[in-house]
Amino acid sequence: MAVTGSRGYGSWALLVFGVLVFLGGLSPFLTSGVGCGGQRMTESDTCVSTTVSANHVHSRTSDLTQQRSANRRLGVFGMVVGGATALGSGYMIRLQARARREGRPLRLQVVGQRGRFARLRPRRYDEPRHVRGVVRLRPAEAAASTTKTVEYRARVRCDHCHGTGKDGRKRCRVCRGSGLTGRVPQSVTIRVPAGMRDRSVVRVRGRGVPGRHPRPSGDLLLSVRLVSQGGASSRPAPERERAARESTSSAALPVTVTGNGVRFVVGPTGFLVQHEHRSATGRRDWVDHVELSWPDIADLSFDSDRHDAVVALYAVRAAGGRQHVVDSRALSTAQWQDVAKGVERLSGGRIILDLSRRDRPGGPRDS
């Protein structure tokens, strides 16, 4: 027997109703006064309750203490009923949400019955389910194909009922009708393909939780974790992980320094040098002077031209020849250090700017 769930509006209405009843039952414990028929009682007041049944009128008189006890008994009853209603409807809403995420209707199956009460269970328990685990690899093992033995815990079919959940016509007393045992240790030997990265997933088919007999088993999903040689995870600690993310995010950020009428911008694709230009109205603009990309640059070095003794930064082109970039006097020593760090980082370490040659130029000269 299967019961198909609705769209969930009734569950939400029951949840709201249960919460309201629970709050109503909680109110006698939160207020200091005692209520009787919607009115607040004092020490000298008495509460008269009247009920009519079978053409008879029954009256009950209670003082302040008795009415407080009656209100609290009624409040406990409301808390129990409202709490149970809210929990049950919340559980149904959770099952309906999971069924919607999996793109299937919610079906409840009767798995047992005691007297007039039926025991329901979502049919997803009868379906195969995946199991997640972790496989740890060293960088050398991740680069090349390797064989690993992975240990994990998962539920298996009950040996008593062979996964059917029944012992004859009765429910299996070992697995209680689920057809599965508890989580038991298991191991599997897998072949990890070459080129695995951290957080990638290896799927081992048929090693997950089996469905009700004779349905197949789910899959084992192993998440790859790269570890160091000592066996510790290569993932940084939480306090270092934040710094690693910040350094990774800032690895491609450009470096910009502004000196004496010169702006030097080092970016992930190359660098740009701009000169300051002031208009007649005093407005300052930046005009592009030199812009080169990293593939077009073979080297950067400080030197002086034979016609000019001023030390300047020259770019040696990959196609041959060199180009004047900017005079060394335009930036301070600290600014040149920032430029050198940016050049080495953003060029991938291919180009290293030697700042010691600012005082001892001697690179290639024009012929």
172 within 8 A of 158, measured Cβ to Cβ: yes
Q: Which has the closest alpha carbon to 194: 143, 150, 136?
A: 143
Give CA–CA dist 197/180, Å, rounded. Answer: 34
Mean local confidence (pLDDT), 18-28: 89
Confidence tier at 264 by pLDDT (50, 70, 90): very high
* Selection from 271, 262, 285 nearest residue 351 by Cα: 271
pLDDT digits (tens, 9 = 90+) for 283-328: 778 888 889 988 889 889 888 876 667 888 989 888 878 888 999 8
Kindly report whether the peptide bond that precedes residue 214 is cis, defined as omega within 30 degrees of 0: yes
Q: How far apart are the C-alpha atoms of 135 and 147, rounded to whole Å?
A: 11
Helix (H, G, I), strand (E, B) or coil at 22: helix
Of 29-43, 136-150, 287-301, the range with the lowest mean pLDDT is: 29-43
Q: With contact defined as beta carbons under 8 Å apart, do 75 and 29 qualify?
A: yes
Give DSSP secondary structure letters for 27-95. Answer: HHHH-SS-EETTEE--TT--EEEEEEETTEEEEEEE-HHHHHHHHHHHHHHHHHHHHHHHHHHHHHHHH
Say if residues 73 and 66 touch (Cβ distance below 8 Å): no
Q: Residue 161: its pLDDT value, please? A: 87
CB 357 within 8 A of CB 363: yes
Portion of the chain with pLDDT greater than 70, in percent: 79
319 in Cβ contact with 331 (< 8 Å): no
On average, the pLDDT of the chain sits at 79
Give pLDDT, residue 364. 46
- Is residue 198 scored above 70 in pLDDT? yes
Residue with tokens 């050198």: 340
Res. 63 pLDDT band, cuts 50 70 90: confident
Whole-prediction pTM value? Answer: 0.36
pLDDT-derived band at 238 (thresholds 50, 70, 90) equals low
pLDDT tens figures, 164-180: 888 888 888 888 877 88
- Going across the sheet that includes 220-226, the strands are 131-137, 220-226, 201-204
Half-sphere exposure of 150 (CA within 13 A, CB side): 27
